[in-house]
Amino acid sequence: MTNVSMTVNGKSVSCDVSETTLLSEFLREDLRLTGTHVGCDTSQCGACVVHVDGKAIKSCTALAVSLNGSDLTTVEGVGSASNLHPMQAAFKKHHGLQCGFCTPGMIMAGIDMVERYHAAGQELTAEAIRHELEGNICRCTGYHNIVKAIEEAAGTMAGQKQAAE
């Protein structure tokens, strides 16, 4: 066992884990943050996407021990039931989900792509969103509304950024 310390959703956490514990297992089983889903466990579905030091990664394909000292955000950390993140609000408005299993990964990938395109000064078109969703699979095939939701959230998030500046 090895001690792993991270900041998860703004809180410092520290746990003893096996050296081959996956980040997804660490989040779900040690921290009981079960919003991060494991769909395929073969690195293909993207339901387990979280943000590590500002980058969206698949938590089922990273060892917790290798991310010691990192700053993590999971879907639990982006908003709350009474104060949804604009991405969550847009998914709700456009019904960007059917069964909802892939939604945590879609939300985290969606926020990441909006932030990356914004930082690069590129326009996040519907076509670009579909391309960016390459690694997030919805088995209910609900992509149409997911794309609409991310498109709207991109606008809301850009507006909020401008207002903040």
Partner 1 sequence: MYDAKYHKPSSVADAVAALSGAEEGKVLSGGQTLIPTMKQHLAAPSDLVDVRGIDGMSGVTAADGTVTIGAATTHADVASNADVLAHLPGLACLAGGIGDPAVRAMGTIGGSVANNDPAADYPAAVLGLGATVVTDKREIAADDFFQGMFTTALDEGEIITAIRFPVAKKAGYAKLPNPASRYAIAGVFVADTGAGVRVAVTGAGEDGVHRNAALEAALGGDFSADAVEGVAANEDGMMADIHASAAYRAHVVNVLAKRAVQAS
Rounded-to-5 percentages of helix, strand, coil across the chain? 45, 20, 35
Among 90, 109, 129, 150, binds partner 1 (CB under 8 A): 109
Lateral strand order in the sheet of 2-8? 11-17, 2-8, 71-73, 49-52, 55-58
Binding of residue 42 to partner 1 (CB under 8 A)? yes
The smaller minimum CB distance to partner 1, of residues 120 and 163, is found at 120
Q: How buried is residue 3: exposed, middle or buried, by Cβ count under 10 Å (0-12/13-18/19+)?
A: exposed
Q: Which is nearer to partner 1, 93 or 112 (CB)?
A: 112
Task: Select 89 or 128, whichever has its Cβ closest to partner 1.
Answer: 128
112 forms part of the interface with partner 1 (CB under 8 A): yes
Contacts of 89 (CB under 8 A, 6+ apart): 153, 156
- 43 sits near partner 1 (criterion: CB under 8 A): yes
- Give residues in contact with partner 1 (CB under 8 A): 2, 18-20, 22, 41-44, 46, 49, 55-58, 61-63, 65-66, 109, 112-113, 116, 120, 132, 134-136
